[in-house]
Structure 1
Amino acid sequence: MYQTNTNRDATDFPIPNYSLFDVGGYVFLKKTFGKLDLSGGVRYDTRVLRWPDFYVRLDSTTGWAQQVATSTGAAPQFAAFRTTYRGISASVGATYNLSERLLLRANVARGYRAPNITEVGSNGLDPGAHIVYLGNRTFGPEFGLQEDLGLSAYLPDAEVSVSGFLNNIDNYIYQARLTGPDGQPVVVVPGNATYQYQQGRAQLYGAEVTVNLHPRAWPALAFNNSLAYVTGVNKEAALLEANGAAAKYLPLIPPLHTRSEVRLTSQRRWRRFTQPYVRAVLDYHAPQNRFYAVDNTETRTAGYALLGLGTGVGLVKGPSQREWLQLFLHLDNAFNTTYQSHLNRLKYFEYYASSPTGRRGIYNQGRNFNAKINLLF
C-alpha cells in the first residue's frame, strides 16, 4: 500500500504532508488429522513513514494560517521525519470436532500494529473534534499476545457459540488529556481541549456469545441474539502509582453490548411479492463505569436501549418469476432515545460554559427513517 497526503488551501493543519508505504508477506498452513484441524501462519510487515519540514504562518490579509515553503526564524510546525517500523506476527490454532454438531476451538497469536500518521505526526487542531491532538515520534509498534478459546454447537433448531479471550499488549497506544505541571489542562488553542497520544502496557480480556434460534416447526421465525463484553486494563506501573484508580482502565473501551433481533419471513409468495418480512431489533449498551479518568480524559457514560423496526419485500415479474426489485423500510431508534455512545468522540465537544439544554457534549442520532430500493438486473 502506498499513501500520500497533501495540504492545499487549508487553514488548519492537524497532520503534515506525508507519504506512507506498507509491504508484507505471509505463509499459512493447514492440516487435518481425523477430528482435529490444525492451522498456523507467520507474517512479516514493514511500514515506512516520512515527511519533510512543514512551515505555517499567519496570512496578514486573510487572518488565517497558511502553509509556506519556508518561514524565516520560525521552527516548522512539523519537523522533517522518517522512520521504518517492522514486525512479525504469527498464530497457531486448533479446532476439534467433539461430535458432528459440537466444535472446540483454541488459538494463540502474536499481533503487530504499526503506529499511524495521527498517532505519530499530529500537531494541530481538529476542528470537528474540538481537540488539539499531539502525536509522539518516539512510538514503536504495538505487539500483543492473545489466547482465545471457543465452543460452537450447531443444533437442529439453534446455533450457539461461546468464546473468551485474553490479550496482553506492549506499546499500546491511546489518547489522554494533557495536563501541565500546575495540574491545569494544557490549552494550545483557546476554547479547545488538548490530547496527546500515550503508549504503555495494557491488557484486554472479554467474551462473546451468540444464540441464534430457527425452530424447524416454525420456519418463518428467526430469533438471533449476541453479547459482547471487553475490559481494558492499564498495566503501566508508574502511571498507576501516580494516579491510582483513575488510571486503572483504558480509554475508548465499549461497554457490555447485547443485540436481539426477531424476524418473521413469509415462506409463501403473495402474487408478485416474494419473501416479505418484518423485524424488530433491540440494542442494549450497559453503563460504562470502567473508564480512563486521569485528567478528566473520560467520564462515565449512562446505559441505553435502542429499538429498531423494519420491513421488506421483493417483487418478481415475467414467466420466469425473476426477482427484479427489492424494497426495504427501516426505522432506527424508534422511541427517539436521547443517548451518548461511550465511543462518541463528540461526547466532550462543548462550547458553552453552562449548556442551555442541561446536557454536555453532542449526542448521538435520534429517530431515523430510511427507505432503500434495489433494482436487480
Structure 2
Amino acid sequence: MFKTLMIHSDNLQLMDKVMQIKTTGTWVHHGNAATKMGALPGSFSTFVTAVPMMLWFSPYAACAVILLCHLIGYFFLRYIGYKIDPQFNPMLLVILFWLNPWRVEQSELYNPGYLFLFSGLHLYSLYLMREEKSFWGSFWLAICLGFCFQVHFSVLILGISFAYLFFTKKIKVNYAGLAAGLVIVAASLVPWLLQTLEQQQTALKPASDTFLGKNFILVYPVVKALVYFFRMGSVYFGRHIFSEINFDWITFEWLKTSLGVLFHGLKWILALVSLILSFRFFYSHFRGYKKEFNERSFIDHYMISLFVGVFGAASLSPVEFNHWHFVLCLPAIVFYICLKPEGYFIKVWDKHRNQLLAAIAVVFILWNIFASFGSRSHSYENDYELGFKKHYNLALSE
C-alpha cells in the first residue's frame, strides 16, 4: 500500500520540515498549511515526522508512526468495548475498522493520518469522566484536544462534543487534571510562539474571503457534512477510492474492461444499500436512546455529542468540509456499529454472522488492493521511497 503511493503537496509539507532539519539543523515549529487559515500552530507534526526519519531516513519510517497511531486508536476502542460489553466481538472491530478502506487510505503521510490516535483518546478520556471527576480522564482530554489542535482544525468536532457532554452533565471534569494537561500543551506551544514572534509572522492568517459561520449561511456545506457522518458508516467512500479507481495495471484488455464494469457497477449498489442502512441505524438509535445515563448508554450520548460536533464545526467552519475532515468520527462510528451490529445488519446478523463477516472482509480487502494499484493517490508503477529521494535529489543509497 505504501509503495504505490504518489507524492503530493501534503506529503511534501511534512517532508520539507524533515529536510530542513537534515540540511540546516533548523526545526520548524509550525504545522502544515490549513485551508484558508494559515499554518497550524505547534511542533507536533514536525516531531512525529522527523524523529522516526532520523532513526531510519525513509518516508516509510514516518508512515510507521501513522500506523502506530491507528493501532493505538484501535486498542482504545477494543478496551472500551470490553468494558461496556464483556461479549464484545473483537473480530468485528478488526474487520470494520482495521480493514476498512476509509481507514486504510488514511495511512499515508499527511496530517489526517494521525487523527485516529486522538479519536480513540477522546473517547477513552470521556469514558473515564462519565461517573467521577477523573484526574487522568481530564488530563488526557486536555492532551488530546491540545495536540490534535496542532494536527488538524477538525479538532473542533471533538471540542464541541466535549462541550455538549459537559453542559448536559454527562461527564464530570477534574479541573486539576485538566489544568495539568493544559500546562503541557502550553509548554509545547512555546517554541512555536517564540519563532512566530521572532519572524514577526501572524499566527493564523484567515483568507479574506472567509469568516466563521460562513457554511451555516450557505446551508449546503452543513448538509454535506451531516451526510458525510452517515457515509462513514457505509462503503460510499471518498471520491479518490470510489469513482477514481482504475484497472490500468491489468494487461489483458478484456479482463480490464470486464472487471472495471463489474466493480463500478457493484460499488454503487453496495454504497446505496450500506448508506441506507447507516441512516436507518443512526436514526433508530438516536431516536430511541435512553435518557438515563449509565455505562451502556454512555456510547449513545457520546455519538449524539459527536453528531452535534459535526453540525457545529461544519456551521462555524469558513471552508467546505471534505472526507478528511471526518476522519476523527470514523473510529467512533465503526465502534458504535460493532457494539450494536444487529441494529445495522437487521435480521441477517443473527442467522448469517460468520458468512457476513467473511463477505465484508473480502470486499474490504479487494477494495484496498484495487485502490492501491490504481487510484488518484496510488499507481502500480510507483515507488514511493524512490519518488521521495528523486524529489529532493538524494542519492539512491541514502
TM-score, normalized by the shorter chain, greater than 0.5: no
Per the normalisation by structure 2, the TM-score is 0.20
By relative contact order (CA 8 Å, sep 6+), the higher-ranking structure is: 2
Rg: which structure is higher? 1
Q: By percentage of residues, which structure has more helix?
A: 2
Per the normalisation by structure 1, the TM-score is 0.20
Q: By percentage of residues, which structure has more strand?
A: 1
